[in-house]
Amino acid sequence: MSLAAHLEDIGGPLVAAQRAHPTVAGIAAGDLPEPVFRSWLEQDYLFLLDYVRVFSRLAWQAPAAHLGDLVDLAHATFHDELALHRSLAAEFGADLDGAIKGGPCADYTAFLLDSAANYGEGLAALYPCMWGYSTLGAQLAADPPAEPRYRRWVDTYADPGFAALTRRCAEMLDESGVDPVRAELLFREGMRHELAFWDVPLG
């Protein structure tokens, strides 16, 4: 079994915990209160800006065979995911430029940026976000919300292109030579941050 496959086995119950979180359940049902999603959107916007920096820091260390993929991941995050957030922000009245990181966002981005000081460890730390959102997207797309704004969010992460980027990230992780024990510790920590991130700050 590859390292990425092993981590995905570990991550299955942790994704299920996210799926059961009230914020995710509300998106799935299409009835999440707008202030909750607005706050989440602002926090995730700030998160994604640092996520681009994580990919960029890893690209600086990457072997030649991985360099283009990391540039693609940074590009997709900056142009595709952030474009979705800007579009949704206009519909939900989110203040992306004026947003301030809450505790879960600050803790998660600090963890990722610190982990990215080491190439293989950085890939292990970020894999929960790539794989977790791809998995959640596929699960939610099986019975998508009727509310069109939440459905657009689901469709973004259920997109085959996003799944392909996730698979490539898994391949790079397997090829990185990272210590498996260390990778598992970082993966579990990343999954913990993923769950905590759904506890959006309000007020």
* Confidence label for 180 from pLDDT (cuts 50, 70 and 90): very high
Is-contact 200 102, C-beta < 8 A? yes
- The identity of residue 95, as a single letter, is D
The residues near 10 (Cβ < 8 Å, ≥ 6 apart) are 184, 187, 188
- Position 203 scores a pLDDT of 52
b/e for 142-162, b at 16 or more Cβ within 10 A?
A: eebbebebbbebbbbbbbeeb
- How confident is the model over 63-88, as a mean pLDDT? 92
3-state secondary structure of 102: coil
What whole-number distance in Å separates Cα of residue 144 and Cα of residue 195? 21
The residues near 109 (Cβ < 8 Å, ≥ 6 apart) are 46, 47, 50, 51, 101
Is-contact 167 72, C-beta < 8 A? no
Element (H, E) at 156: helix 148-158
**pLDDT tens digits for range 101-151:** 999 999 999 999 999 999 999 999 999 999 999 999 999 999 999 999 999
